[in-house]
Structure 1
């Protein structure tokens, strides 16, 4: 089994306790997380040889982030040390009709100010099987966009499978810049993962007969989105998560996968949300695990959806579930009965 490499930013997450609002909270809980770090933790949980690549300061907060990754079995030997700060985000959990809210404090983080010479991609991809990143990483800075482009080129040259979760963040860049930058990067990708609106925000590809706000999602509309992405970028797979947001507390959850020949649709779950941060990352990690482990396309999709369904029940960014727990849900046991 080869190395599974992810590249991006790990941040310090500060959150009011329970469902307190920012303005009423007198203390904050602390965890670490970030798109690609979340994927690395999941892959390590599934027994993969997972590596996380980033740049972190040498001080104690940077070391705390490294220690948290090591705690869950992620190899941190490829992390570059330097810079002044770890990015921070504040997360207020929503409930019922009140949405969750995220405030970023990540400007001038170590990874955002990283330089090309901080990463030797030829060495990083030695013995690698898979490389994953998200659209958040190139959005952090122009330097990060250049580094990401260099990374995907090196990955392709090394024969490594490349996946990207588009993960559009309007607080980081405009749709115009996202489309321009990601349009170059995705040319080197094999697998694109998107939520129900990423393709529209990044590439202007909108699903017909779909209204995200009301929760009406058209399967046929998303099939056309997947086909257009394949036609434009020569991809091997497109996966789209389909979230029906009835409230901040209750969502419908499913996904579809296109392998350029057939469309696959997962079963649908009604989920009661404990913490939805990292839901998409847990789907991406589940899909990577499924596709790289020789599962059928349908089973890989079902595994990814079941894994991400379970993530919504876990506090923090990381999806701390076992293969056995995911497979139990895949097989239809959603009872939540006590395991004795």
Structure 2
């Protein structure tokens, strides 16, 4: 099998503390990330041939970032050098990307400057058997959305497996289009769609049954996951697998579980409950990478889901955008928390 190619914007996450101590110390912690790079990093760590495509400025910072990725065994040969800057975002330590406090500084970045009809996708897809992107990409500009459409058209013609993460970032959709005007056309080319029932509603227009989501009652949410998955498969015939994640704050801390719908069956993972976590950023990306890892190795849907869920759960305790957990550590977590 060929490489897994992840396509998206490399970002630097800047982490000011909420009390302003960074001003006194004259120091801002940061992490290298971006949803798709987080996936590529995890896959490379787990010995899956992993390639990453983005656009970076041609300067010394990019040279260092390329070396950083290459040290993690990520193929960077497809990365474009163009434009003037790397995208940034600011997120207070410990907060979630859906938090109102997130500040994006991505306008005018090298990636946001991508234009259709400028990338030779036939060359890009050489030795690639899986193409992964997220809904964050087309959220930036209409031109980037058009670039995604180009990539998917070529990927489909080459019978490349395509996965989509329905990352919903309301603050990014600022160019006059709602997600439901863009995402359904892109989803038509996808074999695996991952997200949650709310993202599927906001981005693909899937029905949301209010009586099933009024609280966090698990059985009702699982019922909705099945309904949403079936609706996605009906609307997007190429898609054969739908994954959903569920993560809630509650009295005992964090509850986390996931589902996978494939071959007419809804599979549910074991549930993880902990009192405290360290960093929510990148957990969903790690789940996506876990799915890719399982399907790449042709594991059963049940084994694939449990691995992906444990990988995402462990990421909640790692202070970075990408996971550092090994396959052995993730498999140990599955056994440790088995009910």
Structure 1 length normalisation: TM-score?
Answer: 0.91
Structure 2 CA distance for aligned equivalents of residues 64 and 210 of structure 1: 49
Structure 2 CA distance for aligned equivalents of residues 36 and 22 of structure 1: 31
2:222 aligned with 1:222, yes or no?
Answer: no
Report the alpha carbon displacement of residue 292 of structure 1 after superposing the two structures with TM.
1.5
Pair 284,298 (structure 1): closer, same or farther in 2 beyond 3 Å: same
What whole-Å deviation, never above 9, does each CA across 1:13-45 have from its counterpart, x for those lacking one? 1113xxx31644322112110010000001101
Structure 1 CA distance for aligned equivalents of residues 65 and 143 of structure 2: 22
What whole-Å deviation, never above 9, does each CA across 1:265-289 have from its counterpart, x for those lacking one? 0001014311110010000000011
Report the alpha carbon displacement of residue 66 of structure 1 after superposing the two structures with TM.
1.9
Structure 2 CA distance for aligned equivalents of residues 22 and 226 of structure 1: 43
What is the SS of the residue equivalent to 1:137?
coil
Do the aligned residues in 2 keep the contact of 1:9 with 1:34 (CA within 8 Å)?
yes
Do the aligned residues in 2 keep the contact of 1:227 with 1:260 (CA within 8 Å)?
no
Which residues of 2 match residues 26-175 of structure 1 at below 5 A? 26=23, 27-94=27-94, 101-173=101-173
Question: Aligned pair count?
Answer: 327
Report the alpha carbon displacement of residue 131 of structure 1 after superposing the two structures with TM.
0.5
Do the aligned residues in 1 keep the contact of 2:207 with 2:228 (CA within 8 Å)?
yes
Which residues of 2 match residues 168-247 of structure 1 at below 5 A? 168-173=168-173, 177-208=178-209, 209-211=211-213, 215-217=216-218, 218-234=221-237, 235-246=239-250
What is the SS of the residue equivalent to 1:109?
coil
Greater than 6 Å deviation, 4+ residue runs: none
What is the SS of the residue equivalent to 1:320?
coil
Structure 1 CA distance for aligned equivalents of residues 205 and 21 of structure 2: 39
Provide the alpha-carbon RMSD of the alignment.
2.1
Gaps of 5+ in 1: 336-340
2:250 aligned with 1:253, yes or no?
Answer: no
Structure 1 CA distance for aligned equivalents of residues 6 and 143 of structure 2: 18
What is the aligned counterpart of 1:25 among 18, 22, 26?
Answer: 22
Structure 2 length normalisation: TM-score?
Answer: 0.91
What is the aligned counterpart of 2:329 among 322, 325, 330?
Answer: 325
The residue number in structure 2 matching 1:338 is none
What is the SS of the residue equivalent to 1:116?
coil
Do the aligned residues in 1 keep the contact of 2:94 with 2:280 (CA within 8 Å)?
no
